[in-house]
Homo-oligomer: A and B are copies of this chain.
């Protein structure tokens, strides 16, 4: 039997969203277009197996952000053509965060895809202080990091290293 987590997700998102927005941040809900719309989120992030982009746009209207996780150039081009506001792209490097990850695209793969889309690209997958400069050089507008800051004894120091690497 299904155990619904919807209300928990809704309440957590409704509580976090105004805090993030008050701090100048952008609040994006994963997959649940209905939750994003209801709580006043800035947008929704969709995976390839999530809610379809076109329907998300219909429900959310033009004023909200829709991001799509993409894993090869064809998906990236399709997302832009379909009206996505940004794409995720990766995994750029091998990652242990996700089960059954898509094939690694590499820095060169990121650069080649970057030349084919104009919307912002959020690089993801195995990015850390040692490789983030190369990812930015390849044309990523943003980088998503999970392991780099979670699997470390000193997250604050790691974040400082990441920022330094980006600025350099």
| A contacts, CB < 8 Å to B | 1-8, 10, 30-35, 37-38, 47-52, 55-56, 58-59, 97-99
**Are B31 and A33 in contact, with the CB atoms below 8 A?**
no
**Are B31 and A55 in contact, with the CB atoms below 8 A?**
no
For this chain, the copies found in one complex come to 2
Known contacts A34-B33, A38-B59, A59-B38; is-contact A4 B47 (Cβ 8 Å): yes
**Are B52 and A1 in contact, with the CB atoms below 8 A?**
no
**Are A1 and B98 in contact, with the CB atoms below 8 A?**
yes
**Cα distance A84–B50 when bound, in Å?**
28
Known contacts A6-B51, A47-B4; is-contact A32 B34 (Cβ 8 Å): yes
Complex interface: chain B residues within 8 A of A5 (CB)? 49
**Cα distance A47–B6 when bound, in Å?**
10
Partner of A6, one of B10, B35, B49, B98: B49
Complex interface: chain B residues within 8 A of A1 (CB)? 97-99
**Cα distance A151–B59 when bound, in Å?**
40
